[in-house]
Amino acid sequence: MPKQRLSFIDQKEGVFDYWCPPDETGDWGIDCRIGREQADELLRECAPVRLPVALSHIVEAIARKGRYQAIEIGFINRIGEMAAQGVARKSPVNDC
């Protein structure tokens, strides 16, 4: 599905894993920042028309893995902040 892989999406044997963030550092602030940066990457690189589908795959992967720590919280918080502001950056080249 993604033409340009995002840093937190992995592909093995044609199967995408939509949530592969780095290991947590143990520092809540740093880990939240990592999640926020990954949300910014998604918003920057994903064409707005594809964003809802991409985000649904990511949230499903987070839920399936049962992982909801600082990185995930930072990611979801940043998406929420940007949605509240109505900000989805257009990317004429990339499609995720």
Is residue 41 pLDDT above 70, yes or no?
yes
Cβ proximity of 71 and 34 under 8 Å: yes
Residues ≥6 apart with Cβ < 8 Å to 35 = 21, 70, 71, 72, 73, 74, 75, 76, 77, 78
Domain definitions of the chain by residue range: 10-85
* pLDDT for position 4: 56
- What are 55-64's pLDDT values in tens digits? 999 999 999 9
Q: pTM score, two decimals? A: 0.82
